[in-house]
A and B are shown apart, each in its own frame.
Chain A
Amino acid sequence: MTEIEPSVSPEIQQLLEATLPNGATPKERKEFTQGLTLLAELLGEIGASSGNEDT
Chain B
Amino acid sequence: MTETAENGYCSFSELRATQAVRAGDSVTKDVIEFLDRISRHNDTVHALIHIMNEEALAHAKELDRCAPSSQGRLHGMVVAVKDTIDVAKAPTTCASFSMLHTEPCTTDAALVKRLRAEGAVIIGKANCHEFAFGGPAFDLPFPPARNPWDPSLFPGGSSSGSAVSVAAGFCHAAIGTDTAGSVRLPSSHCGLVGLKLTNGAVPLDGVKPLSPTFDSVGPFARSVADAALIFETLVGTRVGDDRNETGSIAVPAPDWLEAIGCEPDVIAAYHVARDAAVEAGFQIVEVFLPPLRDIHAATAIVMMREVADIYSAPVRRSFENFGEMFRARALLGERIPERHYREALARCAEIGAVYSTKLADHDALLLPGYPSGPGLLAVVDKFYFLQRPNLNAIANGTGMPVLSLPILRDASRRPLGIQLMTLKNKESKLLKVGERLESKIKYPHQLPFV
Contact = CB atoms under 8 A, between A and B. Distances in A.
A10 interface: no
Chain A binding surface, main DSSP class: helix
A28 interface: yes
Contacts of B336: 39, 43
A42 B386 contact: yes
Interface in A3-55: 15, 19-21, 23-25, 28, 31-32, 34-36, 38-39, 42-43, 45-47, 49-50, 52, 55
Given A19-B334, A39-B335, A47-B340, A34 B383 contact: yes
Contacts of A24: 319
B310 interface: no
Q: How many interface residues does chain A have, given as a range?
A: 20 to 34
A50 B346 contact: yes
A42 B381 CA distance: 17
A23 to B, nearest CB: 4
Contacts of A55: 340
A42 B335 contact: no
Given A43-B340, A46-B343, A50-B346, A31 B300 contact: no
B89 interface: no
Contact of B319 (A21, A39, A42, A43): A21
Interface in B262-302: 293-294, 296-298, 300-301
Interface residues of B, number: 31
B320 interface: yes
B427 to A, nearest CB: 30
Contact of A35 (B297, B319, B340, B383): B383
A28 B386 contact: no
B346 A35 contact: no
Interface in B376-402: 381-383, 386-387
B179 to A, nearest CB: 17
B301 A21 contact: no
A43 B334 contact: no
B239 interface: no
A32 B346 CA distance: 27
B339 to A, nearest CB: 7
Nearest to A40: B335
Contacts, number: 69
A39 B304 contact: yes
A35 B347 contact: no
Contact of B328 (A31, A46, A52): A31
Contacts of A32: 328, 331-332
B332 A36 contact: yes
Contact of B301 (A15, A34, A35, A43): A43
Given A19-B334, A46-B298, A50-B346, A28 B340 contact: no
B87 interface: no
A46 B298 CA distance: 7
B328 A42 contact: no
B85 interface: no
Nearest to B324: A28
A19 to B, nearest CB: 6
A45 to B, nearest CB: 4
Contacts of B296: 42
Given A21-B316, A23-B320, A34-B383, A52 B343 contact: yes
Given A35-B383, A39-B386, A42-B297, A15 B339 contact: no
Contacts of A36: 332, 335
A32 B382 CA distance: 9
Contacts of A19: 331-332, 334-335
B335 A15 contact: yes
15 contacts: A19-B334, A25-B324, A34-B383, A35-B328, A38-B387, A39-B336, A42-B301, A43-B336, A43-B337, A45-B297, A46-B297, A46-B301, A46-B340, A47-B340, A55-B340
Interface of A: 15, 19-21, 23-25, 28, 31-32, 34-36, 38-39, 42-43, 45-47, 49-50, 52, 55
**What 6 A-B pairs have minimum CB-CB distances, sorted nearest first?**
A38-B386, A45-B297, A42-B297, A50-B343, A35-B383, A23-B319
Interface of B: 293-294, 296-298, 300-301, 304, 316, 319-320, 324, 328-329, 331-332, 334-337, 339-340, 343-344, 346-347, 381-383, 386-387
